[in-house]
């Protein structure tokens, strides 16, 4: 459909098995995502794109451990292992991803002092990536989200998509989650409550 877009979130090497911030089974979704790309009229990709020494890296905070929380000027921030550093192999799209059909690649997380989970906003929830405006100018009002990880970048993208007025679906069978301290169930509840349509064709 001309008014619909498939948004593929962060299907990058560092989020797949063997990567610096691997999501269990992250590479398993590649064939399904490729099939969805083939059938989509419009495809947008996001790419985590951090400078070295990014403020969300535990290594940037002496004594801090990955997966702990700190307070940043924009709120609570999970500290991560160094990942998706600009131009690195880890930041590349998974080699099996048929990404060349993408009309737009949104790079996020490139501002050193703020992280960016969502495809639509930085983690301050006010600095836009430009994706919403791009979709509106293209006449697209419906988005389907797939990729990594369900409970972070996919989930926050879906919440922001709904808040920006887009009809929003997350294909859970084409996502994988990190599930950090119950984060997966919590995000699924948040998405449902916000009006995100959750589909899982494996359970059909």
Model pLDDT for residues 23-79, shown as the tens digit of each residue: 999 999 999 999 999 999 999 999 999 999 999 999 999 999 999 999 999 999 999
Report pLDDT for 202.
Answer: 75
- Average pLDDT rounded to a whole number, residues 78-93: 97
Q: Mean pLDDT, the chain, as a whole number? A: 96
pLDDT at 134 over 80: yes
DSSP one-letter string for 20-58: TTPPTTGGGGHHHHHHHHHH-S-EEEEEE-BPTT-TTBG
- Average pLDDT rounded to a whole number, residues 158-184: 97
Residue 65 CB neighbours (<10 A): 9
> Structure pTM?
0.96
Catalytic residues: 10, 108, 153
- Average pLDDT rounded to a whole number, residues 142-150: 98
- Average pLDDT rounded to a whole number, residues 162-177: 98
């Amino acid at each position: 459909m001309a008014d619909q877009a498939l948004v593929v979130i962060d299907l990058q090497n560092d989020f797949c098995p063997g990567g610096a911030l691997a999501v269990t089974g992250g590479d398993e979704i590649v064939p399904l995502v490729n099939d969805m790309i083939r059938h989509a009229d419009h495809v947008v990709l996001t790419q985590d794109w951090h400078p070295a020494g990014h403020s969300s890296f535990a290594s940037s905070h002496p004594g801090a451990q990955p997966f702990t929380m700190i307070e940043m000027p924009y709120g609570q921030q999970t500290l991560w292992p160094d990942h998706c550093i600009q131009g690195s192999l880890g930041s590349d799209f998974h080699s099996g991803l048929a990404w060349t059909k993408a009309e737009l690649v949104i790079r996020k997380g490139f501002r050193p002092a703020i992280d960016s989970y969502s495809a639509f906003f930085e983690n301050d929830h006010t600095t836009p990536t430009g994706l919403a405006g791009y979709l509106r100018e293209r006449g697209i009002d419906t988005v389907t989200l797939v990729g990594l990880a369900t409970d972070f970048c996919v989930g926050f993208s879906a919440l922001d998509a709904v808040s920006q007025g887009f009809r929003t679906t997350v294909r859970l069978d084409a996502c994988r989650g990190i599930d950090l301290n119950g984060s997966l169930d919590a995000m699924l509840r948040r998405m449902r409550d916000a009006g995100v349509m959750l589909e899982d064709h494996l359970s059909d």
